[in-house]
Amino acid sequence: MKDEKLQKALARMGLGSRRQMEEVIKAGRVSVNNGPATIGDRVEQGDEIRVDGRQIKYTAENEKRRRVLAYYKPEGEVCSANDPEGRPTVFERLPKLTHDRWVMVGRLDINSTGLLLFTNDGEMAHRLMHPSSEVTREYAVRVLGDVTPDMARAMTTGVMLEDGLAKFEDIKEGGGEGVNKWHHVKLQEGRNREVRRLFESQGLKVSRLLRTSYGSIALPKELRTGRFLELDKKDINTLTDLVSMRPRHGTGLHGAAKRKQERIKDKPLKARRSDDNRSHSAKPKSSASPASRGSSNTRDRNNQR
């Protein structure tokens, strides 16, 4: 039997979800070995796959090295491959891949900062983002206004937004005074501006938002804005365990790449600004921004790295 179903292979290569790929196949936009593809076709190494006439480089799932990047997004960058307004994008900072592509795991709006994950495994990205996986995201949020116990209770019980019920799994005070009050929140889905909209539902305004972790991966303490680190085998396998995926042979860093990452951890690279020259060249200082210290769970994971 051939290696895997066509729609699964296309999703794994980052072209969309399995359901989206099924629709693309049904629309007659996919061919295998110069013949029209159908739902349920299976493919293997050596098959010629084309989508809209463009050849897709296929590598069998058990032969492709699974890779994951942790990127510290600064303000001013948009989470898309191309921006019609010409604004800087998060993809511009990433290393180039040959016959492969980076797939973004979740999004952050242009004014938000913090951890973004990228992987070359489209199926893994899809599972990490899907609400059914219930992967927890953690954020440090600076709020203008006082979060009363009743407000916190409402946001953890559930608030009806325009696109359905939303809630935080947890909300805790993060310190600070006046207009510099921080809270740490946990969320198990990633709808558009959901954190901001939950606070807005209580008449509160978010003045700064920083994602401190995604699933089992915390924002590395040695990572600066506009920089990325590639995750090693242990961290990647922990992520795949969250979404019930099998480890893959060859996963992780090796040789020169591994030594380079070790040097970066010992001597972090300087922060980089976005092209719009906005001021976000460093992490928040602990004296002014409790967000940089994170929740106790985040600190514990950072200390283990």
List, by residue number, the catalytic residues. 109
Burial pattern 94-131, b for ≥16 Cβ within 10 A else e, equals eeeeeebebbbbbbbeeebbbbbbbbbbbbbbbbbbee
Name the DSSP letter for residue 212.
E
CB atoms within 10 A of CB 288: 10
Residue ranges of the alpha helices (H) in the chain?
6-12, 18-26, 122-129, 149-157, 194-200, 233-242, 255-266, 296-304
Q: How many whole angstroms separate alpha carbon 216 and alpha carbon 239? A: 6
Name the DSSP letter for residue 287.
T
Q: If you compute the radius of gyration of the chain from its CA atoms, what whole number of angstroms results?
A: 21
Partnered with residue 49 across adjacent β-strands are 32, 56
Name the DSSP letter for residue 286.
T
Lookup result for tokens 């016959």: 99
Residue type at position 15: L
Supply 51's token pair. Answer: 């989508």
Name the DSSP letter for residue 259.
H
Torsion from C-alpha of 34, 36, 39, 41, nearest 10 degrees = -30
> Which H/E stretch holds residue 36?
strand 35-36
Contact residues for 59 (Cβ-Cβ < 8 A; gap 6+): 45, 99
